[in-house]
Amino acid sequence: MSIQEIEKRWQKRWFEERIFEAEPGDKEKFFITVPYPYLNGNLHVGHTRTFVIGDVLARYHRMIGYNVLFPMAFHVTGTPLVGLSELIRNRDERTIKVYNELHKIPKDILFDLNTPEKLVNYFKGESEIALSDMGCSIDWRRKFTTMDPPYKKFIRWQFGKLKSKGLIARGSHPVRWCPNCKNPVEDHDLLRGEGANIIDYTLIKFSLDGYILPCATLRPETVFGVTNLWVNPGVTYLIAKIGEEEWVIGERAFEKLSHTDKHPEKIGEIEGRELIGRYARNSMNEEEVIVLPATFVDPNEGSGIVMSVPAHAPYDYLALRDLKDGRGDYDLPKEISDLILKIEPIKLIDLPRYGNFPALTVIDELKVKDQMDPKAEKATKIVYKREFHDGILNEVTGRYEGYKVSEVKEIIAKEMLKEGKADIFHELSEPVTCRCGTECVVKLVEDQWFLTYSKKEWKDKVLDCLSSMKIIPAEYRKEFENKVDWLKDKACARRRGLGTRLPWDKDWLIESLADSTIYMAYYILSKYIHEGRIKEEELDDQFFDYVLLGIGEQKNDLHKEIRDEFEYWYPVDLRSSGKDLVPNHLLFFLFHHVAIFPRRYWPRAIAVNGFVSLEGEKMSKSKGPLFTMREAIDEYGADVTRFYILGNSEHIQDADWRSSRVKDAKRALERFYVLAEDIIQRSKGSRENQKDLSKQDRWILHRIQMRIKEVREAMENIQTRRALQNAFYLILNDIKWYRKRGENPKVLLDVLDLWVRLLTPFIPHICEEIWSRMNGGPQNFVSLARYPEVDEGKIDYSIEIEEDLLRDTIEDIREILAVTKIEPKKIVIYTVPEWKREIYETALKLKVKGALDMGSLMRTVIKDHANTRQISSFAKKMVRKVGLMGQDEVKILANSPVDEFETMKKVEDFISEEFGCKVSVFDAEFSKYDPKNKSDAAMPLRPAIYVG
C-alpha cells in the first residue's frame, strides 16, 4: 500500500468517526485558529506551514487532554477575485498561463471560472480537500466564506458596534493614483516605482501683489532663513483660483492639486520671467524677499517655485553664487544685479563643525561646481541629514530658538498650517508608472470612512491586552508594540470588489482586512447556520448582541445554547500565523477584539511563523515559482510534507523546500515505519519477561523520559523543529544504541508505544497505522490517545552516567588506537580507585552546598588517609574540575553514585566485540596486570586504558 493510500484510509476514518468535531463539554477547552486563506489561488507549501503548525498544536493539545476547537474558513472579499475573474473571462494570456501551469488548474475548468462566485466555489472545494488530505484535524462543520450572507450580517453588526463606539470617522486620505485607470494603484499594478512613498511637503505661502507663491519644502523650519524666491524664467506658470486665493504654480503642480481637495481653477497664465525682481512677503517674519531666476528649478517638482535658504541649502547657495558671478543668461537689469550682490545667506541653524553656512561647507567639501552639478544633490542630502539630527535653531527663529531641528520641525509645520500660512502638498518619493503606462499622482480620497486606530485610548487598550498575552516567539512582542504605536487611522471602505456594504452608507464596501478581525467568534455561530438550525433572517443585531456580548434577553433556547457555546469556547487561546500578518491582520485582530469584547474575551496568545521558500527562491502566487499543497501530497505524502516543514525551521525563520531534502525526510519516515514493524513482530515472538529489566532496558526507558520532557517543553514554546529533533532523530539514535547493547523486545514495544504517541501530532497517518498494528487492529485512534507524560519513576541518572562511562571509554580507546595506529591484541581498563572516588564525591557534595575549596575538601577527606601528598595533589585537580561544573550537573552527579568497576566489568564482552580483541577490566587499586603503569591515570568517570 502506498503512503497516500494509508493516509487516505485514516483521513476517511477520522472523518467518518467525526473525531475532530468539537462540542462544548466538561473538559478544559483550547481554541486555536490560523488565518483563513485568501482564495485567489490554490494552497501551496507556504500555506502549509501555517496550517500544519496550527494542526500540530491542535493535535498536541487534544492529546494532552484539552477539548480542542480548530476551525477553518475562507476569505474572498476584496478586489483580487473580481480582477481575476475578469482576466480569465478575457482569456488574459499571462493569467491563464499562471493558473494553468503554476496553480495546476486544467484549462477546461479554468476557462469556466469567469465569475468571482465560480472562483470561490472552485478554490473553496480544492482548498478543503487539500487541507483534509494534509491531515489537518479541522472541524469542517464551521466553515464559511466571507461573502456568505449570514457572515455579512455579522460584519454589519460589527461595524454598527464600532460606529456606535465612535471608532469610525469620516475624512480624506492620500493614495497613489492612476489618473487614467481612475483607481488607486498597488505595488503589483506598477511598471515602476514599487517602493515609492507618499511624502508630505509643507507648502509655504508667500504673497506677491495679491497672488500666492507657494513653495514646497521638506524643511519648513528654514522659512526663517529665506533670502529670496526662485522661479524658472523659461517656464510659463499658471494662475489658479484656490478657494479665495490666487496661486501661481507650475502646470504639473496644477494637475497634482486637481486630484486633491484644493480643486484649483485656472484663471490665467504668467511667464516666470515676469515675476523676477518683484517682491514677495514671508508671512513668518514679514520680510519682503525678491524673486530671482534659477535654472535648477524643476517646474514638474513641487509647485515650481522654490524658496531660497542659501545658508542651509546647497542648491540655493550655488544658484545665488552663480547669479553673483554673472553666470546664466538672464539679462537682469542693473539695479537687480546690484541687489543680488548684497544678498547674504541668513543662518538660522547652528551646526557644530560646519562653519557659518553648512551649505557652503559641504559644497566646498564635495567641490560642487554650480547648481547644475549632479553633486549638488548629494550635498543637499548631507546637509539635510546633519542639520536634522544635530542642528539647533538660533535666535533668527524667534520663539523656536534653542530647539533641535528634529524635534521642532513638525511643530513649526503644524503651526503654519493652522494659521493658514502653509498647506500640505503630497508628492511621490519617486516617479511611479502604472501598468497602463500613465504617470501616477497622489490623489486625496475625500469623504472616506476611517477606523480611528490612532486614538490613544484605543491603542492603550491594545497595549494593555498585549501585555497580558503570550507572544511567541518572545522577541516579537517589541515588534507588536512598535506597530501599535505606528498604526494610523485606516480607510475601511472601498468602491470595488466583493464584500459587505457599510450599514449606514450603502455606497461603500467594507474593506477586506477590516472584515476579518473578529471572525473567530463567527466559527461558533457558523456551526448552527451550517446545520440549518438557525436561519439567516434570525441574524439581527439583537441576536448578535445577545450571543456574542450577552446583551439583552434570550429569545429562545437555541439562542441560549449558542450563547453558552460561545462562552465555552471564547476567547481564542492561540492565534498562529505567518509573520507577514503582524503589521496588519494580527494588529487589527487585537484592535477589534479590545473594541468589541470585554476583557475576558481578549485573545490569549499569538504565535508567529516564517515563510517557506522553494529551492532557495521566494515563492510567488502570480510569478512563480510555486509548489502547491496538492503536488506535495501527491508526490511525497502528507506525513512527509508535515514532517519536513515542521522539522526544517523554527519560529520566524523561513523554511526552505528542497526536493532533495524532502526525499531524505521521506526515507527517514520509511525507516521509522520499517523499524516499528520490526519491533512489533519481534515482540510477538518474544518470551522475554518484561519484569526483569536489565540496565540497558532501564537506560532506554530513562532516555525516553528525557525526550518526552524535551518534546513537551518544545511544544509549549511552539518549537516544532526542536520537538521533532527529540521526538524523532534523538529517540531513533537511542533505540539504535539500545539494540546494539542488547534489546528486550517487550521493552522495545513499550518504547514504541510512547514513541508513536509522541510523534502523532506531527505525522498522524503513519502513527495511526502503526498504532493499529500494535493494538491488533483499529479499535481506537492514536490521535485521541494520551500524550506521553514524564514518568519520574523511570528517570535514573545513574544509569545514564554508567552508559556514558561505557561510551566515553570506547571513544577514548578509539582515539588511542587512531593516534598510535596499534592493532590491539588486548585492552586493559583500570577503573578509578576508591580513594579518588571518595575525594571526587566529597568535592561534588561540597560544591552542591556551595562550599567547595581546597581547604574544606582536604579537611573532610584527609582524616583517614596516610598519603597526604598524593591526596592533596589529586584533591587540587578535583577542586578545579568540579569547581568548573555547573550546579545542575553537579547535583545530578552527586546524587547518582556509580560503581565504575561493576559497570565496566559487565561490559567487557561488549567492548571486546567492538574492538575484536580481549578486554579486561581492573580496579586501578588492585590491578594484577599493569605493564605500563597506566592504572595511575585512572580518574573518576575516566578509567585508565592500556592497549597492547
> Which parts of 475-514 interact with RNA (CB under 7 A)?
475-476, 478-479, 482, 486-491, 494, 497, 511-513
Residues 6+ away with beta carbon under 8 Å from 331:
none
Q: Which of 124, 347, 563, 585 binds RNA (CB under 7 A)?
A: 585
Show contacts with RNA in window 187-216 (CB under 7 A).
Answer: 197-198
For residue 282, the minimal CB distance to RNA (Å) is 29
Stretch that binds RNA, among 89-97, 111-119, 240-248, 804-812 (CB under 7 A): 804-812
Judged on CB neighbours under 10 Å (0-12, 13-18, 19+), 16 is exposed
Tracing cell 527529540 back to the chain, one arrives at 726
Q: Which amino acid is at 573?
A: D
Q: Which of 2, 164, 556, 660 binds RNA (CB under 7 A)?
A: 660
Q: Binding RNA by CB under 7 A: which of 818, 863, 869, 928?
A: 818
The DSSP line for 425-448 is: EEEESS--EETTSPBPEEEEEEEE
Residue 517 found at the interface with RNA (CB under 7 A): no
CB-based burial label for 767 (10 Å; 0-12, 13-18, 19+)? buried
- The correct pick among 261, 356, 599, 729 for binding RNA (CB under 7 A) is 729
Q: How far is the CB of 122 from RNA (least distance, A)?
A: 16
Those residues with Cβ within 8 angstroms of residue 261's Cβ, 6 or more apart along the chain or in another chain:
172, 444, 446
Using CB under 7 A as the binding rule, whether residue 678 contacts RNA is answered as no
Instruction: Using only the alpha carbons of the chain, give its radius of gyration.
Output: 38
Tally of residues, the chain: 948
840/225 Cα distance (integer angstroms): 81
Q: Which is nearer to RNA, 653 or 860 (CB)?
A: 653
Determine, following the binding rule CB under 7 A, whether residue 615 of this chain makes contact with RNA. Answer: no
Among 42, 48, 50, 77, binds RNA (CB under 7 A): 77
Question: What is d(CA 831, CA 920) in angstroms, rounded to the nearest whole number?
Answer: 11
Question: Which span (18-26, 113-121, 590-598, 820-828) binds RNA, by CB under 7 A?
Answer: 820-828
Among 87, 181, 693, 885, binds RNA (CB under 7 A): 885
Q: Does 79 bind RNA (CB under 7 A)?
A: yes
Residue 287 bridge partners (DSSP): 282
CB of 611 to RNA, least distance (A): 8
Residue span binding RNA (CB under 7 A) among the ranges 163-171, 251-259, 289-297, 643-651: 643-651
Q: Among residues 165 and 881, whose Cβ is nearest to RNA? A: 881
We find the least distance from the C-beta atom of residue 806 to RNA, in angstroms, to be 11
Between CA 921 and CA 934 the distance in angstroms is 13
Q: Considering the rule CB under 7 A, would residue 40 count as an interface residue with RNA? A: yes
| Identity of residue 793 | G
- The answer to whether 804 contacts RNA (rule: CB under 7 A) is no
Contact call for residue 947 and RNA (CB under 7 A)? yes
Residue 543, all three cell numbers: 441576536
Query: Is the Cβ–Cβ distance between 108 and 114 less than 8 Å?
Result: no
CB of 350 to RNA, least distance (A): 21
Query: Residue written as cell 475532530?
Result: 20
Select from 269-277, 410-418, 758-766, 878-886 the region that touches RNA (CB under 7 A).
Answer: 878-886
The values of phi and psi at residue 574, to 5°, are -155, 130
User: Residue 174: what residue type?
Assistant: P
Q: Which three cell numbers stand for residue 799?
A: 544509569
Position among 656, 838, 908, 925 found at the interface with RNA (CB under 7 A): 656
Minimal CA–CA distance to 865: which of 939, 925, 923, 921? 925
- The answer to whether the beta carbons of residues 426 and 444 sit under 8 Å apart is yes
CB of 874 to RNA, least distance (A): 15
Closest listed residue to residue 392, CA positions, set 367, 411, 409, 417: 409
Among 814, 825, 849, 859, binds RNA (CB under 7 A): 814
Contact 249, 237 (CB under 8 A): yes
Q: Which of 580, 677, 796, 908 binds RNA (CB under 7 A)?
A: 580
Contact with RNA (CB under 7 A) among 78, 225, 272, 940: 78
Give 107 or 488: the residue with its C-beta nearer to RNA: 488
Among 54, 116, 135, 184, binds RNA (CB under 7 A): 184
Q: Whole-number minimum distance, CB 927 to RNA, in Å?
A: 13
For RNA, which residue of 69, 72, 175, 767 counts as binding (CB under 7 A)? Answer: 175
Q: Quick one: which of 186, 298, 419, 564 contacts RNA (CB under 7 A)?
A: 186
Among 13, 173, 877, 918, binds RNA (CB under 7 A): 173
| In the complex, minimum distance from the CB of residue 944 to RNA, in angstroms, rounded to a whole number | 4
* Member of 148, 565, 639, 650 binding RNA (CB under 7 A): 650
Least distance in angstroms from the C-beta of 838 to RNA: 20
Q: Which is nearer to RNA, 565 or 841 (CB)?
A: 841
User: What are the φ and ψ backbone dihedral angles of 637, each rounded to 5 degrees?
Assistant: 100, 155
Minimum distance of RNA from residue 675's CB (angstroms): 7
Extract the C-alpha cell encoding 551: 446583551
Q: Does 888 bind RNA (CB under 7 A)?
A: yes
Residue among 68 and 882 whose Cβ is closer to RNA: 882
Which alpha helices (H) appear in 276-313, and where do they start and end? none
SS3 29: strand
What's the min distance (Å) between Cβ of 70 and RNA?
21
The answer to the question of residue 649 lying near RNA (CB under 7 A) is yes
Q: Identify the bridge partners of residue 69 per DSSP, sorted by sequence position.
A: 31
Beta carbons of 584 and 615 less than 8 angstroms apart: no
Say how many residues touch RNA, by CB under 7 A.
Answer: 86
Among 415, 439, 812, 930, binds RNA (CB under 7 A): 812
| CA distances (Å), origin 786, targets 619, 710, 713, 760 | 38, 17, 16, 10
Q: Are strands 287-293 and 190-192 parallel, antiparallel or unpaired?
A: unpaired
Query: Minimum distance from CB of 812 to RNA (Å)?
Result: 4
CB of 485 to RNA, least distance (A): 9
The DSSP secondary structure of 170-234, one letter per residue, reads EEEEEEEEETTTTEE--GGGEEE-TT--EEEEEEEEEEETTEEEEEEES-GGGGGG--EEEE-TT
Footprint on residues 917-946 left by RNA (CB under 7 A): 932, 934, 937, 942-946
Q: Smallest distance from the beta carbon of 822 to RNA, in angstroms?
A: 7
CA distance 734 to 739: 9
What DSSP character marks residue 100?
I
Is there binding between residue 44 and RNA (CB under 7 A)? no
**Cβ closer to RNA: 106 or 886?**
886
In sequence order, what are the beta bridge partners of 279? 290
Q: Per-residue x/- marks for RNA, 689-728, CB under 7 A?
A: --------------------------------xx--x---
Taking the complex as a whole, the smallest distance from the CB of residue 4 to RNA amounts, in Å, to 20
Say whether residue 169 binds RNA (CB under 7 A).
Answer: no
Between the alpha carbon of residue 598 and those of residues 465, 546, 594, the distances in Å are 11, 14, 7
Three-state DSSP at 299 gives: coil
Identity (one letter) of the amino acid at 284? M
When asked if residue 459 is in the footprint of RNA (CB under 7 A), the reply is no
Which helix (H) or strand (E) segment is 339 a member of? helix 334-342
The residue from 181, 605, 668, 862 that contacts RNA (CB under 7 A) is 668
Q: Which is nearer to RNA, 112 or 889 (CB)?
A: 889
How far apart are alpha carbons 251 and 305 in whole angstroms? 11
| Cell numbers for 857 | 575538601
659 binds RNA (CB under 7 A): no
Closer to RNA at the Cβ: 511 or 803? 511
Minimum CB distance to RNA smaller for 864 or for 888? 888
CA–CA dist 661, 651 (Å, integer): 20
